[in-house]
Chain A
Amino acid sequence: MNHDAYDDAYIREILKTVKRIALVGASSNESRPSFIVVKYLLERGYEIIPVNPGLAGQTLLGQMVYGSLRDIPGPLDMVEIFRNSEAAGPITDEALALEPLPKVIWMQLSVRNDEAAARAEARGVKVVMNRCPKIEYGRMSGEIGWQGINSRILSSKKPTLAGKGFQKFTISR
């Protein structure tokens, strides 16, 4: 896997198939990206399980917060790492100790740990690094264009409304 430039198809397939996502480093501060991404993905129908030892036992946007990945009951489709690149190593190992394994490990925009990625891929786990799932979802759905952002995607198929009004698209186009 070339982690410098992902095919849109690779990212789209991940975003279309994962449903249950643990987000490590979730914040309760509404102006932080680590809060905004939780909120956005919840609104797009994903089940988001926030992980933050400082908030363990509380709820965030109605979701129970866990102190670590191993405390979460039930299988995870994806682990998103919202910590620095160094911390992404041990968190990846924690994710790789889960039974069953998560299908995807995703490191947030600006987070990259190639050694951790290699360990995950050796176990058959897909890896995305240095990307934001909110930005990627917005690119694929077409929503991001509303903010004048270059989605780098051309399509003659109309975007699909999410069914909760006119200001949310889905990635099913």
Chain B
Amino acid sequence: MSAKHPGFSTLAIHAGASPDAATGARATPIYQTSSFVFDDVDHAASLFGLQAFGNIYTRIGNPTNAVLEERVAALEGGTAALAVASGHAAEFLTFHCLLQPGDEFIAARKLYGGSINQFNNAYKNFGWNVVWADSDEPASFEAALTERTKAIFIESIANPGGVIVDIEAIAKIARKANIPLIVDNTMASPYLIKPFEFGADIVIHSATKFLGGHGNSIGGLLVDGGSFNWAGDKRYPMLSAPRPEYNGMVLGETFGNFAFAIAARVLSLRDLGPALSPFNAFLLLTGIETLPLRMQRHCDNALQVAKHLSTHSAIDWVNYPGLPGDRYHNLAKRYSPKGAGAVFTIGLKGGYAAGVKLVSNLKLFSHLANIGDTRSLVIHPASTTHKQLTDAQKSAAGAGPEVVRLSIGIEDAADIIADLDQALAA
């Protein structure tokens, strides 16, 4: 490979995927196996002692999953990645590496509803305390800092859509407090935004969405930016303390700028277990090869649809940062110049009832709880994804009763618009 800095489309196809060493298979094989034989007894000992690169058991690592990991690490500009069973699992393992009971982290209030649930409810059992802040007001993160704050968590483009976050401003606060900034980059994908370039330390993905892109596989990744210095930092004992699991090894010293991804694998994934199926990894990899083509089409279609809806008589408002005049338009131009994503919300003049009617009348759009599919998708968050939140939380998350979320697919834009028109007229 002669080019020193291959372009995004080249990486999307080639990163991590040389021909198979044993067979020459050019597509990445699906290593559908639980375990791998060792070359000899000493080799086995080396692998268990983290002294050699290699494969032991698919819960800890698998060659198909590894290609996905290297691919996404390369696309994000990170040092390493770990593929896991879902985006939720990626979040969970990330925090398992960072938090001790009684610790806090600050999260943006506008988040995917499932993340809000995980942070508010599931984490209570571990003594991990979320403190909410407003991503439109970076200073609110600084105000929420305490001595127990171990991380900041935001989304680059926030679910349910239409919100671009000033990553750099929040990264500065994290850097000043010497805590890692975690950015969920699911909605943007690295094609639109690379959070490491703006000061993020860890990137999270639900690969189920735009990365895989075809709505056929659940999967998640965490990506190590290599920027945070864990060694010697007592606040993060998973990385800085001698680990009894590995004969006193200090992961932050041994693995340098990819220590976080290694710790997430050999401590968190190994012991908690949400491994990704190699078959899913294969499907996600196949999807990623066309990520740049799909993502541009998603964005181009979304802009056309948003423009159309913004003049429609049944629509009260359209929150799409790609539209001039939108409150996030300037942030979108700065962070996401190729397009403002494909997921956004609209407010219906007819309120809750109109939202229910719209999802019932659409014929091309699928009514389901996912985003980032080739197909156009629709959901009424107040009655589904955000149903478990209080009314105040719903409004704070941008999911009030009149709100409908659209995930614009890569069909012909004219057909997407025609479907919305007929459903709004019906």
Contacts of A43 in B (CB 8 A): 46, 52
Please determine whether B16 and A145 come into contact, CB atoms closer than 8 angstroms: yes
Please determine whether B55 and A167 come into contact, CB atoms closer than 8 angstroms: yes
The answer to whether the Cβ of B246 comes within 8 Å of any Cβ in the partner chain is yes
Contacts of A32 in B (CB 8 A): 249, 254
The answer to whether the Cβ of A81 comes within 8 Å of any Cβ in the partner chain is no
In the assembled complex, the CB of A34 is this many whole angstroms from the nearest CB of chain B, namely: 10
Question: Complex: how many Å from CA A165 to CA B247?
Answer: 26
Please determine whether A145 and B67 come into contact, CB atoms closer than 8 angstroms: yes
Please determine whether B39 and A156 come into contact, CB atoms closer than 8 angstroms: no
Which residues of chain B (53-102) have a CB below 8 Å from chain A?
53-55, 61, 63, 65-67, 69-70, 73-74, 78-83
Please determine whether B43 and A146 come into contact, CB atoms closer than 8 angstroms: no
Question: Complex: how many Å from CA A41 to CA B19?
Answer: 25
Against B, the Cβ 8 Å flags (1 = close, 0 = not) of A4-29 are: 00000000000000000000000001
Instruction: Decide if the interface of chain A is mainly helix, strand, loop or mixed.
Output: loop
In the assembled complex, the CB of B406 is this many whole angstroms from the nearest CB of chain A, namely: 34
Please determine whether B49 and A153 come into contact, CB atoms closer than 8 angstroms: no
Given contacts A31-B49, A31-B249, A166-B39, contact A148 B22 (CB under 8 A): no
Please determine whether A31 and B247 come into contact, CB atoms closer than 8 angstroms: yes
The answer to whether the Cβ of B18 comes within 8 Å of any Cβ in the partner chain is yes
Contacts of B256 in A (CB 8 A): 109-110, 132, 135
Which residues of chain B (24-68) have a CB below 8 Å from chain A?
24, 36-40, 43, 46-47, 49-55, 61, 63, 65-67
Please determine whether B247 and A145 come into contact, CB atoms closer than 8 angstroms: no
Which residue from chain A places its CB closest to the CB of B80 in the assembled complex?
A: A149
Question: Complex: how many Å from CA A166 to CA B36?
Answer: 10
Q: How large is the interface on A (under 10, 10 to 19, 20 to 34, 35 or more residues)?
A: 35 or more
Please determine whether A40 and B21 come into contact, CB atoms closer than 8 angstroms: no
Question: Complex: how many Å from CA A77 to CA B83?
Answer: 40
The answer to whether the Cβ of A36 comes within 8 Å of any Cβ in the partner chain is yes
Given contacts A40-B52, A109-B256, A142-B21, contact A151 B40 (CB under 8 A): no
The answer to whether the Cβ of B325 comes within 8 Å of any Cβ in the partner chain is no
Contacts of B46 in A (CB 8 A): 39-40, 43
In the assembled complex, the CB of A162 is this many whole angstroms from the nearest CB of chain B, namely: 9
The answer to whether the Cβ of B15 comes within 8 Å of any Cβ in the partner chain is yes
Given contacts A39-B51, A147-B61, contact A158 B24 (CB under 8 A): yes
Given contacts A151-B70, A154-B15, contact A165 B21 (CB under 8 A): no
The answer to whether the Cβ of A164 comes within 8 Å of any Cβ in the partner chain is yes
Residues of B bordering A, CB below 8 Å: 1, 6, 10-11, 14-16, 18-22, 24, 36-40, 43, 46-47, 49-55, 61, 63, 65-67, 69-70, 73-74, 78-83, 242, 246-249, 253-254, 256, 258, 261-262, 265
Q: Which 6 A-B pairs have the closest CB atoms?
A: A165-B39, A148-B69, A158-B19, A31-B249, A150-B73, A143-B53
Residues of A bordering B, CB below 8 Å: 29-33, 36, 39-40, 43, 109-110, 132, 135, 138, 142-161, 164-169, 173
19 A-B contacts (beta carbon < 8 Å): A36-B50, A132-B256, A143-B54, A145-B70, A146-B53, A146-B54, A146-B63, A147-B66, A148-B65, A148-B70, A148-B80, A149-B70, A149-B79, A150-B73, A150-B258, A154-B14, A157-B19, A161-B21, A164-B39
